[in-house]
Structure 1
Amino acid sequence: KCMRACSFTGHRSIAPSHRDRFIPLTQRAIEYAYSEGCRDFYVGGALGFDTLAAREVIRFRMFHPDARLILLLPCMNQDERWSGSQRSAYEHILSSADEISYIAENYFDGCMRERNLRLAECADIVIAYVGRSRSGAAQTARMAESLGKKVYNLYPTLEEK
């Protein structure tokens, strides 16, 4: 199988009712992408879903050392307004990444959209957590679908009681 890629897109907050099933479902999605030949896992580095997805890829890599965590970040200073605990989680992810790529050195209007487009373009499979259609995550999922990529949205599964 040729090297394939998987990217993640999702909201900055996880619904409280989803939290208990969220991690196992994300783990299964990563395992599925890996079984489909994905070895490069691209994460956008935002708070919420991106942070959790990156952590799970780091954990997964302990058992599958050929899996790579690649951070595709909008700008170098995206964490400047984050809290101390958010920053320390981010630092851990940065230090654990196999590769880090930045859209821009400094924030500009449109760097998030550019990052989202790159996440959509580079992936064969997109693992999403999208419950609101007017969001950057939904935009990324739509871009991926329009490029013919497979998008798996975890949100509807988590909504099932």
Structure 2
Amino acid sequence: MREQTACFTGHRTIPPQQLEDLAQRLRAAVEDAIGRGYRYFGAGGALGFDTLAAQTVLELKKDHPHIRLILVLPCRSQAERWSREQQQTYEAIKAQADKVVYTSRGYHRGCMHVRNRHLVDHSSLCISYLTQPTGGTAYTVDYAIAQRLEVVNLGDTPR
């Protein structure tokens, strides 16, 4: 199954002027992956790129009903401090996901890294939005490279 699984990692903040272009490039990357036989798409459920990626997979399921969205969430309380609108979007995505996995029972320091490693460890392709040389997304992309995943970066920071 790993050879048919792609994961996503990216920043929580996407500059508004880049959103439309990023959404188009993300859709093209997911469509390319589908064309190459990828069927399972793992997203971490965070704000920003994770949300955009999950919404893209759900939209593409209309034309490709065989693909599956797997949410890999760090803990059950991930969204408790988000705005009401963000929580509603999160719950709508969860309700439409084909599978939801929690990597930790509750929040703890490092639970996001556990989630990110789980996503990479169960994938052969990582579609990223990396624009900063440090932080959780950079860590995850570096881990994906170390695990010999193919990485497609839609951002402007090379690895």
TM over 0.5: yes
Q: What secondary structure sits across from 1:62 in the alignment? A: coil
Mapping 1:118-129, distance limit 5 Å? 118-129=118-129
Over residues 78-127 of structure 1, what are the superposed CA-to-partner deviations in whole Å (9 max), with x where a residue is unaligned? 00100001000000100000000001121011110010111111111110
Q: How many residue pairs are counted as aligned between the two chains?
A: 156
Q: What secondary structure sits across from 2:143 in the alignment? A: helix
Unaligned runs of 5+ in 1: none
TM-fit CA distance, 1:135: 1.2
Over residues 38-85 of structure 1, what are the superposed CA-to-partner deviations in whole Å (9 max), with x where a residue is unaligned? 100000000000001000000001111110000000001100100001
Q: Distance in 2 between matches of 1:67 and 1:91?
A: 20
What is the identity, as a one-letter code, of the residue corresponding to 2:89?
A
Q: Distance in 1 between matches of 2:128 and 2:85?
A: 24
Q: More strand by proportion, 1 or 2?
A: 1
Provide the identity percentage: 40
Range moving further from structure 2, 8-17 or 63-72: 8-17
Other-structure match for 1:93: 93
TM-score (norm 1): 0.93
Unaligned runs of 5+ in 2: none
Q: Distance in 2 between matches of 1:45 and 1:58?
A: 13
**Native 8 Å contact 2:3 2:123 kept in 1:** no
TM-fit CA distance, 1:136: 0.7
TM-score (norm 2): 0.94
Over residues 107-158 of structure 1, what are the superposed CA-to-partner deviations in whole Å (9 max), with x where a residue is unaligned? 01111001011111111111000111211111111100000000010012xx
Range moving further from structure 2, 51-60 or 11-20: 11-20
Q: Distance in 2 between matches of 1:94 and 1:60?
A: 16
**Native 8 Å contact 2:129 2:155 kept in 1:** yes
**Native 8 Å contact 2:3 2:124 kept in 1:** no
Runs of 4+ more than 2 Å apart: none
RMSD: 1.3
